[in-house]
């Protein structure tokens, strides 16, 4: 008979959360199907029901959950998991999907499992990934694992139409202070499933410049508005221009095309 020394159990290993996920794979599949069953087509983009579903999933876990919305029909959810340092890794996933025509589907667009595959509108883009992020939160909590950095999860609305109620609202409120971000959307072309580094965003700008007119015989007395615009463009190029992202050798196999 083993002696009870009263010692604390050994700390969780780095692999413990992954082992938990593998051991509870069927629950992850069920969670994915639960999320697919909620129609979040955008438009209209109503995500109240799926956010409530996620809140119920997270309720038993020792994590901080905050609902944030500027449009009551399109709430966002922030989940914070404390780590061992003051650095923060942000995980982002959107809850809305593009609309669907059920008659055009050979499977149930609101979720169907066939053997080892899950079908449905949003299975890839991106409720499958959202389910994986949620299950990662549970795995960390269940195994009492302390992440090496703080983890911040942002489950957002209004992505499919580029609306202002989702990620832009969180950014405007300055709620997403992080050192790096992972977006879990796995949409990719067939045969290309590598991790993509630094997917480009876009900035839309309207520039206006005023000048000062001068007589054609003395143009140096005036100010050319086009020159001012050119200077502004050069300034933006210097500030927002492309930068090469150097990747460590051990990371290259998962990011190279």
| More confident of the two residues 252 and 70 | 70
Please give the pLDDT value at position 147: 96
Distance set, CA 62 to CA 53, 59, 86, 140, 176 (Å): 17, 8, 19, 10, 21
| Strand partners of residue 183 | 92
The residues carrying an active-site annotation are 96, 159
pTM of the model: 0.76
106-141 burial: b if 16+ Cβ within 10 Å, else e:
eeebbbbbeeeebbbbbbbbbbbbbbbbbbbbbbbb
User: DSSP letter at 28?
Assistant: H
**Domains, the chain:** 16-190 (3.40.630.10), 203-240 (no CATH)
Q: What is the pLDDT of residue 238?
A: 87
For residue 56, what pLDDT band results from cuts at 50, 70 and 90?
A: very high
Summarize pLDDT for 213-240 with one digit per residue, the tens.
Answer: 988 888 888 899 999 999 999 998 888 7
* Mean pLDDT for the chain overall: 89
pLDDT digits (tens, 9 = 90+) for 107-118: 999 999 999 999
**Rounded distance, CA 184 to CA 126, Å?**
8
pLDDT at 2 over 60: no
**C-beta separation of 45 from 158 below 8 A:** yes
Residue % of the chain over a pLDDT of 70: 85
- The pLDDT of residue 6 is 53
Range 82-98 average pLDDT: 96
Give the separation between CA 166 and CA 169, rounded to whole angstroms.
Answer: 6
Per-residue pLDDT, 48: 98
| Cα–Cα distance, 69 to 78 (Å, whole number) | 11
Q: Is the dihedral of CA 112, 113, 119, 125 positive or negative?
A: positive
Determine how β-strand 88-94 pairs with β-strand 150-156: parallel
């Amino acid at each position: 008979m083993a002696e009870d020394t009263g010692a604390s159990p050994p700390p969780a290993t780095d692999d413990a959360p992954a082992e938990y996920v593998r051991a509870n794979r069927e629950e992850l599949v069920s969670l994915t199907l639960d999320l697919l069953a909620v129609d979040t087509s955008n438009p209209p983009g109503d995500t109240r029901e799926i956010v409530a579903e996620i809140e119920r999933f997270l309720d038993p876990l020792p994590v901080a959950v905050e609902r944030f919305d500027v449009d009551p029909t399109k709430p966002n959810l922030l989940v914070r998991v404390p780590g061992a340092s003051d650095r923060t890794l942000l995980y982002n996933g959107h809850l809305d999907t593009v609309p669907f025509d059920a008659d055009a589907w050979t499977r149930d667009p609101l979720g169907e499992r066939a053997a080892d595959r899950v079908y449905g509108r949003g299975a890839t883009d991106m409720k499958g990934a959202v389910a994986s992020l949620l299950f990662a939160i549970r795995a960390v909590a269940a195994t009492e694992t302390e992440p090496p950095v703080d983890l911040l999860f942002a489950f957002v609305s209004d992505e499919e139409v580029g609306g202002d109620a989702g990620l832009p609202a969180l950014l405007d409120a300055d709620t997403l202070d992080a050192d790096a971000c992972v977006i879990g959307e796995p949409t990719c072309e067939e045969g290309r499933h590598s991790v993509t580094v630094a997917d480009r965003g876009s900035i839309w700008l309207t520039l206006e410049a005023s000048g000062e007119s001068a007589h054609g015989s003395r143009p140096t007395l005036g100010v050319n508005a086009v020159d001012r615009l050119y200077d502004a463009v050069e300034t933006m190029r210097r500030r927002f221009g492309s930068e090469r992202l150097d990747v460590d050798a051990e990371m290259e196999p998962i990011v190279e095309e």
